[in-house]
Chains A and B, each alone.
Chain A
Amino acid sequence: MSRPFIPKVVTANALLEGDVVYLTADDRWTRHHHEAELIEDEAHGQLRLIFATAQKGVVVGAYLADARPGANGPEPIHFREVFRTRGPSNYRHGKQEVAAR
């Protein structure tokens, strides 16, 4: 029996800054996980990944990451992806710095 599909978001790093970014349903790249498109269908996920991978001038290293629906939009599941949404633990750098502004 095949396992149920775990929903995904498409994530990558921005080419110029290296920032963690997510693909939205309307084909934008956002810094915010909750704005990402939550992909609930495996075949659609593959299509979105191909779309993202083709954006070579904008992002690098696109991949699909597990996510789940939350009150505010998609939430990450694995702790690595949680860290990627907020930046390092030792300083308020990266996303935390931007959020604090």
Chain B
Amino acid sequence: MYRYNDFDEAFVRTRVAQFSQQVARRIDGSLTEDEFRPLRLMNGLYLQLHAYMLRVAIPYGTLDSRKMRQLAMIAERWDKGYGHFTTRQNIQFNWPKLQDVPEILSALADVEMHAIQTSGNCVRNVTADHFAGAAADEIEDPRPVAELLRQWSTDHPEFQFLPRKFKIAITGSPNDRAVTKAHDIGLRMVRNEAGEPGFEVIVGGGLGRTPMIGHVVREFLPKADLLPYVEAILSIYNELGRRDNKFKARIKILVHETGRDEIARLVEERFEETRAEFAGTDQALLAEIERAFAPPAFRVAPTDAFDAFYKADPVFRAWADTNLAPHRAEGYAIVTISLKAHGATPGDATAEQMRLIADLAETHGHDEIRISHEQNVILPHVHKSDLPAIHAALSRAGLATANVGLISDIIACPGMDYCALATARSIPVAQEIATRFEDLKLEHEIGPLKLKISGCINACGHHHVGHIGILGLDRAGVENYQITLGGDHTETAAIGEKTGPGFAYDEIVPAIERIVRAYLEVRSEPAETFLETLRRVGHGPFKAALYDAEGTKDAA
């Protein structure tokens, strides 16, 4: 794992000291809220519906046990004993008190973490494939490049006041688990004809009010050119982005209005200049960072214990079938720990759960942890012979829900239970859907299905790219939920289509059930997934299930 050097350390400590002063001056009245607000946001501190909220970056979703334990300590000491993992690989603490925040930031700095650039019109936390460094389909670990981008973008003097926030996602696999097509810049590692690794560069994707799938501006960018190329994109955006209108300020609008070809031309032109300015220091730095990400010494050991358990124990088998993914090393697996127990708040983990995960990572996982954009936690490197022990420990802590990729593995933003911008709640809707399908005992029958919920048009819950998306709205003072179908967050990304009028709070769960029952009826065979069926038969049967007179009766 990357360790801070003296510069990083001093930088983060100075920031904490500055912010302590700013908080003190806000409390004693020498700073007004108007003066203080931008300063607190620069340090990840928001004011939400019922309390302050501190957003802490987890760069490219990577943690170790030391960091996880510190997050647990913070949750216990200064919050209410839990934290919320988000779709942007951040953790949010929902209840800090203003005067405690400097101490929290200082505790984070002790473990090389911070909340810098988790708000504002700058380059936000660079996100990455949560299976980075472990996935069987990976070309290269994308995290060294993500770390390079983090260092380059942190306090970059030119890019602190962009027209709007800027999000970069990166994957080292051709299979996209980082939603690269819905980011301002998405980087997907591919090989050229000579077999050399490089990046497909995607620009202008995004969700929110105007959802768009990004355009490929470069099919193959050699790895060594990445930083000057990204800098060229940022610099064109900084110059031409629409500062006159907040709703049109994202780079997706610039790409849309200017056209992909013209943007690509401008970027290439600027790239010629930026490349000349990068004298190779970035490559020297990258080489240094790469050493810090050297893979752990994988064990060679028999997997008989795993095979025996798998055969004998149906509960273990169900969990292994849904929550494990193929690892690049012989005898290893990637474990996804579901933070979606039926009826729980998606993405929340208690301090005890965080500590247990830290212990498991330390004893059985080469001390590596990842946070996924799907709001789950991952132990990327686990030898299969350790899986029975891990499963037993997770079961005791309520963390062994076998539902990864299924209908109850829901992404949900905080919605109006926490968020000041929300137009409706998302958390209770997610909780009720998960509980309903648990009661029906249908979710394994349904198979892979991505359900995503946002509490407003900002789309923090990624509803546009959910196979089933739910958007909470305010219709004349009551909560109303709009459904989209057919979204896809992978390399075949697509924005979902609205089905029609929305549903009231007490109608939304039955409506989702009708969609799912329609799928079970029209799928050609059990192996045909929801998305495949939808693509084959179109929206007709689902709209009928939702809106036809007969279908409108509560399916319960």
A positions within 8 Å CB-CB of B: 13, 15-20, 56-57, 60-61, 77-80, 83-84, 87-91, 93-95
Contact = CB atoms under 8 A, between A and B. Distances in A.
Interface in B45-63: 47-52
A79 B479 contact: yes
Given A20-B49, A88-B418, A94-B51, 12 more contacts: A18-B50, A20-B50, A60-B47, A83-B416, A83-B425, A87-B50, A88-B427, A89-B417, A89-B428, A90-B345, A90-B417, A93-B95
B32 A56 contact: yes
B50 A56 contact: no
A17 B477 contact: no
A88 B99 contact: no
A77 B27 contact: no
Interface in B79-94: 80, 94
A93 B49 CA distance: 12
B477 A18 contact: no
Given A90-B428, A93-B95, A18 B417 contact: no
29 contacts: A16-B97, A16-B98, A17-B98, A18-B50, A18-B98, A20-B50, A60-B47, A61-B33, A79-B477, A79-B479, A80-B416, A80-B474, A83-B49, A83-B416, A83-B425, A84-B49, A88-B417, A88-B418, A88-B427, A89-B417, A89-B425, A89-B428, A90-B348, A90-B427, A91-B345, A93-B50, A93-B80, A93-B95, A94-B95
A61 B51 CA distance: 12
Contacts of A79: 416, 474, 477-479
Nearest to A96: B50
Nearest to B26: A15
Contacts of A87: 50
B431 interface: yes
A18 B418 contact: no
Contacts of B416: 79-80, 83
A13 B47 contact: yes
B49 A61 contact: no
The 8 closest A-B pairs by CB, nearest first: A88-B417, A18-B51, A18-B52, A94-B50, A90-B345, A89-B428, A57-B29, A90-B427
Interface in B349-405: none
A16 B36 CA distance: 13
B47 A19 contact: no
Contact of B51 (A19, A57, A77, A83): A19
Interface string B19-52: 0000000110100110000000000000111111
A61 B47 contact: yes
Given A17-B97, A83-B416, A78 B27 contact: no
A68 B201 CA distance: 55
A95 B47 contact: no
Contacts of A15: 26-27, 33, 98
Interface in B466-518: 474, 477-479
A16 B97 CA distance: 6
A3 to B, nearest CB: 15
A65 B471 CA distance: 25
Contacts of B477: 77-79
Interface string B405-438: 0000000000011100010010110010000000
Nearest to A56: B32
A47 B320 CA distance: 64
Contacts of A90: 345, 348, 417, 427-428, 431
Contacts of B33: 15, 56, 60-61
A78 B477 CA distance: 6
A18 B48 contact: yes
Contacts of A60: 33, 47
A95 B50 contact: yes
Contacts of A93: 50, 80, 94-95
A69 to B, nearest CB: 18
A97 to B, nearest CB: 8
Nearest to A66: B477
Most buried by A among B32, B52, B422, B478: B52
Interface in B419-471: 422, 425, 427-428, 431
Most buried by A among B49, B50, B431, B474: B50
Contact of A84 (B50, B431, B478, B479): B50
Contacts of B27: 15-16, 57
Given A17-B98, A56-B33, A77-B477, A89 B427 contact: yes
